[in-house]
Amino acid sequence: MLHTPPASLLLLQLLNLTGIFVFAISGAMMGVRKGFDLFGVIVLAVVTAVSGGIMRDVLIGAIPPESIAHWHGVALAVIAGLLGFRSHRLIERLNHPVLFFDAAGLGVFAASGTQKALEFWLNPFMAAVLGMISGVGGGMVRDILAAQIPVVLRSEIYASAALIGALIVVVGAHFGLPPIETTLAGAGL
Amino acid sequence: MLHTPPASLLLLQLLNLTGIFVFAISGAMMGVRKGFDLFGVIVLAVVTAVSGGIMRDVLIGAIPPESIAHWHGVALAVIAGLLGFRSHRLIERLNHPVLFFDAAGLGVFAASGTQKALEFWLNPFMAAVLGMISGVGGGMVRDILAAQIPVVLRSEIYASAALIGALIVVVGAHFGLPPIETTLAGAGL
Amino acid sequence: MLHTPPASLLLLQLLNLTGIFVFAISGAMMGVRKGFDLFGVIVLAVVTAVSGGIMRDVLIGAIPPESIAHWHGVALAVIAGLLGFRSHRLIERLNHPVLFFDAAGLGVFAASGTQKALEFWLNPFMAAVLGMISGVGGGMVRDILAAQIPVVLRSEIYASAALIGALIVVVGAHFGLPPIETTLAGAGL
């Protein structure tokens, strides 16, 4: 039995990239809605996608942050932003596309952020707080840049989802469960 | 004679918690005024309470920041936010409750932030700047999240108070005085 | 042959101070336009001038950031803010003074930020991203504090300039060129 089995590490990275992708789509949809041009949409997509994780990494001392040390996250977010700009008519057929992709990313990041904070020796309560920050940070920055009051402050369900997702992982870790199913539960909101 | 006598350290922590408490009330009152629900009010209270100190700690390299490493600050801010949400009618009988609690927290944080920056080898001028950042950071983030221009930019008296509070501590430290009386002077604005 | 010849190091510092000066003017002009008083104008000038560099330094792990460790940057920004407040009538005879000084600072910071990130072992693609963050960070924070959508999101030419400036330095570094001419090209937009 290893402490961090490679399979679970790979899964965490996969979840992180999933979160980055859906957050980037959410940022791109906000940019399109605000009438930004291609470059503005991509910048907003990237910033939305990486801000939560960067806040988490700076606060736990994992410097340089994952999204700065490796190029995969930013590159994926650029691609997702481009996709969002191109396909925004298709994506807007969904109800509340910004919120939908935001909620998906939030669940994934809240869970993976909590997991990472636990690995960085934080106590379970603060690890859950860090998970929340990871989950809501990107959307907060997106809304601030779009000159809106962040949705997390206006919608009770939204932030509760992040907290619940984070708590599930903490409880799961306490009982030695792998973070896989809990994270999927979080992503499903 | 010790370098950091335990009594003064305890006092610094007490002051920090006082600052967190009053900033959290200030954030909660802003949240109530903006019509946020319970969860939004508590999130805004916590963010207002811990942002200034987190900025200070990240900038001087005290990572993980105090409010992340220990749960006391966040827990206290949650309680203060809850209290602010419950008792907002009572608190609003004060004139300008957001500003009142903001000024109290600002004085306390400006002084304790300067003190901490001095302990982290910063020169007196930059320590005073760090003190100002600690003092005004939380209110700035609160106003940004509420989609307002930060009060610190609009009100000369406000930022001057932070600077004066910080300078008093620097001068006091230069002459070897303990930070107790200076901080109380700062808290009194 | 030295790795970092003193002459080029001096040039980098000179460029950084130039960037801080013009960004501070840009922040001061925004503050005057928003009707802030002297203190608000100076705070906005300083924050605009140092935010991009602080973000860069925190993200690459150069803590405490240059603008916190040394007092020169903040002092220069205070002077530039004072100058902007005093001479705003003169400066406003220029077309779009905020944008003009912003673009100048952006080019300088994008180039010097990329250079610094390369020295901190980042790969060329992420170094260019870090350069962009240095270049656009200050203006972003300025616009957020003034409750506006950041100009970088609304103007394609603007962010493209930062990216091109950063890429020139990366390519230049690859071929072993000093960053002098590339940075001047960036500053010329």
Q: What is the DSSP string of B122-144?
A: --HHHHHHHHHHHHHHHHHHHHH
Break chain A into its structural domains and give their ranges. 6-187
Cβ(A115)–Cβ(A41) below 8 Å: no
Q: Which amino acid is residue A111, in one-letter code?
A: A
d(CA B110, CA C69): 18
Query: What single DSSP character describes residue A3?
Result: S
CB contact B125 to C (< 8 Å): yes
Which range scores top for mean pLDDT: A163-167, B159-163, C135-139?
C135-139
C56/C110: higher pLDDT? C56
- Which pLDDT does position A75 carry in this prediction? 93
- Cβ-in-10-Å burial (0-12, 13-18, 19+) of B100 comes to middle
CB contact A64 to C (< 8 Å): yes
CB contact under 8 A, C147 and B149: yes
Instruction: Count CA within 13 A, CB hemisphere, residue A63.
Output: 21
pLDDT tens digits, one per residue of A95-150: 677 777 887 788 888 888 888 888 887 788 888 888 888 888 999 999 999 988 88
pLDDT tens digits, one per residue of C139-157: 999 999 998 888 888 876 6
Query: What single DSSP character describes residue B179?
Result: S
Q: Which residues of chain B have pLDDT under 50?
A: 1-2, 178, 180-181, 185-189
* Tokens 């100058």 -> residue: C83
Distance from CA of C90 to the nearest CA of A (A): 31
Distance from CA of C94 to the nearest CA of B (A): 25
Tell me the H-state helices in chain C.
Answer: 6-33, 38-60, 66-69, 72-86, 88-91, 97-119, 124-145, 151-154, 156-174, 179-187
When the pLDDT of each residue in chain A is averaged and rounded to a whole number, the result is 80
CB contact A150 to B (< 8 Å): yes
d(CA C5, CA B186): 47
- Which pLDDT does position C7 carry in this prediction? 61
Cβ(B48)–Cβ(B23) below 8 Å: yes
- Which pLDDT does position A1 carry in this prediction? 36
d(CA C115, CA C171): 11
Predicted confidence band of residue C1 (pLDDT cuts 50, 70, 90): very low
Nearest to A149 among B54, B75, B147 (CB): B147
CB contact under 8 A, C59 and A68: yes
- Which pLDDT does position C28 carry in this prediction? 94
Cβ(A76)–Cβ(A20) below 8 Å: yes
- Which pLDDT does position C172 carry in this prediction? 62
- Which pLDDT does position B188 carry in this prediction? 47
A48/C94: higher pLDDT? A48
- Which pLDDT does position B41 carry in this prediction? 92
* Tokens 């962010």 -> residue: C159
d(CA B79, CA B46): 9
d(CA B135, CA B131): 6
Nearest to C37 among B63, B136, B156 (CB): B156
Residues within 8 A of C (CB atoms), A 27-46 only: 31, 34, 36-40, 43-44
* Residue B177, token pair as written in the block: 């005085």
Question: What is the arithmetic mean of pLDDT over A15-24?
Answer: 90
Question: What is the arithmetic mean of pLDDT over A151-174?
Answer: 69
Is pLDDT of C189 > 60? no
Question: What is the arithmetic mean of pLDDT over C165-183?
Answer: 59
* Residue C36, token pair as written in the block: 């802030």
Question: What is the arithmetic mean of pLDDT over C71-84?
Answer: 93
Cβ(B125)–Cβ(B65) below 8 Å: no
d(CA A65, CA C61): 9
For residue C142, which of C50, C58, C12, C55 has the smallest C-alpha distance?
C50
The CA-atom distances, in angstroms, between B177 and each of A122, B6, B132, B172 are 36, 15, 20, 5
Nearest to A126 among B58, B63, B68 (CB): B68
Counting every residue written for chain A, the total comes to: 189
* Residue A28, token pair as written in the block: 């791109």
Q: How far apart are the first and last CA of chain B?
A: 31
Query: What single DSSP character describes residue A147?
Result: T
pLDDT tens digits, one per residue of C38-66: 888 999 999 999 999 999 999 998 888 98
What are the backbone angles phi and psi of residue A176, rounded to the nearest 5°? Answer: 75, 15
Predicted confidence band of residue A157 (pLDDT cuts 50, 70, 90): low
Which of A153, A155, A163 best tests the B interface by mutation, with the highest count of B CBs <10 A? A153
Predicted confidence band of residue C2 (pLDDT cuts 50, 70, 90): very low
CA B9 to chain centre: 17
Residue A30 has a CB neighbour count (10 Å cut-off) of 25
pLDDT tens digits, one per residue of B126-173: 888 888 888 889 999 999 999 888 888 887 666 666 666 666 666 666
pLDDT tens digits, one per residue of A61-94: 888 898 888 889 999 999 999 999 998 888 877 7
Cis peptide bond upstream of C124, omega within 30: no
pLDDT tens digits, one per residue of A33-63: 998 988 889 999 999 999 999 999 999 988 8
CB contact under 8 A, B156 and C38: yes
Closest CA in chain A for residue B36: A154
β strands within A105-149, DSSP E: none
Cβ(B34)–Cβ(A148) below 8 Å: no
CB contact B144 to C (< 8 Å): yes
Predicted confidence band of residue C187 (pLDDT cuts 50, 70, 90): very low
Q: Enumerate residues 6+ apart whose C-beta is below 8 A from A163.
A: A110, A128, A132
- Which pLDDT does position A189 carry in this prediction? 43
Reported for B89-93, long-range contacts at CB under 8 A and 24+ positions apart, including other chains, are: B91/B25, B91/B29, B92/B29
Residues of chain C in contact with residue B62, where contact means CB-CB under 8 angstroms, are none
CB contact C53 to A (< 8 Å): no
Residues within 8 A of C (CB atoms), A 66-85 only: 68-71, 74-75
Radius of gyration over every alpha carbon of chain A, rounded to an integer in angstroms: 16
C135/A77: higher pLDDT? A77
CB contact under 8 A, C43 and B153: yes
Question: What is the arithmetic mean of pLDDT over A168-182?
Answer: 57
- Which pLDDT does position A165 carry in this prediction? 67
* Tokens 């860069």 -> residue: C56
Q: Which chains touch A (3 or more CB pairs under 8 A)?
A: B, C
The CA-atom distances, in angstroms, between B188 and each of A22, B156, B161 are 48, 17, 10
Closest CA in chain B for residue C144: B144
The CA-atom distances, in angstroms, between A29 and each of A79, A183, C165 are 14, 25, 28
CB contact under 8 A, B129 and C74: yes
